[in-house]
Amino acid sequence: MNQVYEIYHHFINIFPHGTQWAVSLALAALLVYAIYKTLKKNFIFIILLIILLPASVPILRDVWENVITLVKFLLTKR
């Protein structure tokens, strides 16, 4: 995860200080849109995964928490 943060900081430093918040907001919106499109496209398979593999629930919860952490990071100004 630290590598993602480093890549993000390197990318965001390209833009002027006043527009970095807009770029972060756009990246967060694109991430949410990508997750939405993925869930929409593979909704049946995700339902089957949750039903057939009860052990996958903690894994999916962990993935979701990491996505939430990444979105929060993109929306916070550091």
Joined together, the tokens standing for residue 25 give 């907001």
CA–CA separation, 5 and 10 (whole Å): 9
Residue 78: its pLDDT value, please?
A: 58
Question: What digits encode the pLDDT tens for the residues 1-52?
Answer: 788 888 888 988 999 988 988 999 998 899 889 888 888 888 887 777 778 7
**pTM for the complete prediction?**
0.55
Residues in Cβ contact with 8 at an 8 Å cutoff, skipping those fewer than 6 apart: 27, 73, 74
